[in-house]
Amino acid sequence: MKSILVRCWHGGEGEMNLGEWYIEILLEALGYGVRYWPGQARGDEPCAHMIGSGVMEGYLRHILRRSSRVVLWGAGNGYSAEEAPRVAEYPGRVDVRALRGPLTAGDCGVGEAVPLCDPTFLLPYLYPSWGPRGLEVLYIPHASLRSGAAEEARGLGAEYVDIFSDREGAVRTLGRIARARFVLTSALHVAIACLAYGTGFCVYVPRGRELGMPRKWRDVFYSLGRVAPVPVDSPAAAAGAAPIRAGSPPDVSRLLKAFPREMAS
């Protein structure tokens, strides 16, 4: 099987963040293996950045020290506009195939000529069936909010699911999200999976704590023609929250067409 070199936060480790596992899950469904930069690079070959918030100048410069080119396919900038790379300043070295949303596109000086869609929205097209909808209520917080999460889940009447796991655990978690009755989360790629599979959810951040990178949430929801949801911060507010659902799903055909197949080796 041909493989594609990718860069992500914990790439190649036994346990990774759920959104990082999406890369392997998606690429394997498309018929490709995954190699992780830099340890599994073959020389200075191109490196893909596919899911995550690392479309930042410093991050891309770090990759370009060892790779000939960075290929962006669906990743985004979760930080300030000032930290994004101006793509025109990297001719032939930063190859934009698709971006997460219109904020990232504007930050990079790309406009909206490329597909604007997070690859997580492809999941139901590649893995359409996880079984019937169940009754589970899940609490899956962002990595930065895992401290005290099990106790928080009990107060919410939900089951805590750790966003960090091995590959088997990640697949199991994705199936549970797809089948759940309701999900409370502060993790963007949990929320996108909910939107993709039609699972009702709310953005939950315990009182006194903060939602990480709110700009990345705006980017995704702007790509859907919507305003990002306001987090709720207490069990009472969560109990009264109307489930957030996708409405019209994004058109993923342009995203698939832009997939960098030629990178596989």
Q: Are residues 63 and 33 in the same domain?
A: yes
**pLDDT for residue 210:** 96
For 51-96, how does the pLDDT look when each residue is reduced to its tens digit (9 = 90+)?
999 999 999 999 999 999 999 999 999 999 999 999 999 999 999 9
Residue range 213-222: mean pLDDT, rounded: 97
Q: Are residues 131 and 109 in the same domain?
A: no
Checking if the pLDDT of 99 tops 90, the result is yes
pTM attached to this predicted model: 0.97
Q: Are residues 72 and 149 in the same domain?
A: no
Q: How many domains does the chain have?
A: 2
Q: Are residues 69 and 146 in the same domain?
A: no
Q: Please report whether residue 199 resides in a domain.
A: yes
Contact 118, 101 (CB under 8 A): yes
Confidence of residue 246 (pLDDT cuts 50, 70, 90): confident
Residue 169 belongs to domain spanning:
125-239
Average pLDDT, the chain: 96
Q: Are residues 67 and 147 in the same domain?
A: no
What are the start-end ranges of the H helices in the chain?
18-29, 57-64, 102-107, 123-126, 149-156, 167-179, 188-197, 214-223, 235-239, 253-257
Checking if the pLDDT of 249 tops 80, the result is no
For 108-145, how does the pLDDT look when each residue is reduced to its tens digit (9 = 90+)?
999 888 999 999 999 999 999 899 999 999 999 999 99
Q: Are residues 110 and 130 in the same domain?
A: no
Residue range 4-32: mean pLDDT, rounded: 96
Q: Are residues 138 and 214 in the same domain?
A: yes
Checking if the pLDDT of 247 tops 90, the result is no
CA dist 201 and 145 (Å) reads 17
Q: Are residues 15 and 94 in the same domain?
A: yes
* Angle at the Cα of 61 from the Cα atoms of 50 and 28, rounded to 5 degrees: 20
